[in-house]
Amino acid sequence: MSLLSLAGLAASLVLMMLMHTGVLRAVRAVVLAAQPLSGAHVDSCVYHRSSWTPGEQDLYPVWAAVAAAGTAVWAAVAFGWGWGWPLAALAWGAAMGWDLWRWERVACSVKFVTWRRGWRHSARRAPVARIKEVHVVEKRLLGPLGGCYVAFVLDDGKAVKLPHTVLPGGLGAVEDLANFVRLQMQQVEDVRRRIENERRRAGKPPLDPTEREIRARIKALRQAKASEVSVR
């Protein structure tokens, strides 16, 4: 196999990867526009697990199918094998179908952080009022390559790891979502302080930490229950 032929194969694989990424991004945008992950609330920030996130075993079939499609296109162009085109279409269709079926994404509204891992699972969410810590975790493999994700800690001490995505091209979206959550957390804290100040000015004793925590949890549970009912 000549060097030129190998270069053609590499170019075919890269073009197939780019086409898969572009079409998948467009399909995801249409789906989220029709069905926001946050339900009745607006998805203010969103990030998705990239098709090329390292270490995600359920994405290996996508990689194999895209590689098969690129190889079939190369064979059809380089050697005139007509069967390469339908094989490429079949392989790429399989890659798209599996990628959408295993689609993992995260969205944040002014009240909730919502995430979903594939179509087989229902969306899960956490009220912003219950989040105490937010972190952006990076796992580098080689240079700029690696993965990243958002992790947060709830007021009951439970740690939650959100879906991973690839570092190049994904870190910015992950940091944007984390910063938006921090902003909403600060606004919730400001509201709590304003209420306490108003109670002091009205001559009412401020809520003790235990009572404040109980009320916050009751409010968060009511909001979560009402949101689940609206999503259904």
pLDDT tens, residue by residue, 90-119: 999 999 999 999 999 999 998 899 999 887
pLDDT digits (tens, 9 = 90+) for 118-169: 877 788 999 998 999 999 999 888 777 899 999 999 988 999 999 999 998 8
Classify domain 3-231 by CATH architecture: Roll (2.30)
* For the chain, domain boundaries: 3-231
DSSP H helices, 102-208, are: 171-201
> CB under 8 Å to 132, separation ≥6 — which residues?
152, 153, 154, 155
pLDDT (average), residues 56-78: 94
pLDDT at 221 over 80: no
Q: 18 pLDDT band (50/70/90 cuts)?
A: very high
Q: Is 47 exposed, middle or buried (0-12, 13-18, 19+ CB in 10 A)?
A: buried
Beta strands 45-48 and 104-108: pairing type?
A: antiparallel
pLDDT at 218 over 70: yes
* Rounded Cα–Cα distance for residues 1 and 175 (Å): 45
